Amino acid sequence: MSENEWFLQLIRDGKSRTEAAEAFYQMLERRGEIRSHLVVTYRCPHRCLLAQVLRTDRGLIVHRARYKLSPGLNSQASSESGRSKNTEDGDRRWKASTFYLDQAVNVTLDCPVASCQYLREG
């Protein structure tokens, strides 16, 4: 099955574009094929994975790695409702996210370091 057919099947199965992008990234990860689609990887000076941009038949997808912030920075940079919705533990361990580049309203590729605790805390 081609990438395009694979994506179309996910859409037919009722998945959103974001869910399809997430599923595609997970499939590439399971198969060990991330590098074959990788356009660029962003890392902090401490080598933390910040984001990966991958090329697919359906467009570019961005994968932002899961991360953890210090308690002080976390409370400054987020709301309680945002933390409960977007973290793994309801507090500081933020979930990974994968989406199409054209869906990235608040994410810029020229400054992907906003999620890195080392760079934000100095």
Average pLDDT of 43-72?
85
Asked if 52 and 113 count as a contact pair (C-beta separation under 8 A), the reply is no
Q: What is the pTM of this model?
A: 0.73
Give the mean model confidence (pLDDT) for residues 57-69.
86
- Say if residue 38's pLDDT is above 60: yes
47-60 pLDDT per residue, tens: 878 889 999 888 89
Cβ burial, residue 29 (10 Å; 0-12/13-18/19+): exposed
pLDDT band, very low/low/confident/very high, at 62 (cuts 50, 70, 90): very high
At 111, the pLDDT band (50, 70, 90 cuts) reads: very low
Report the DSSP beta bridge partners of residue 31. Answer: none
Contact 66, 95 (CB under 8 A): yes
The lowest-confidence range among 9-18, 30-39, 83-92, 100-109 is: 100-109
pLDDT for position 53: 94
Looking up tokens 């805390």 gives 121
Choice between 40 and 70, residue whose per-residue pLDDT is larger: 40
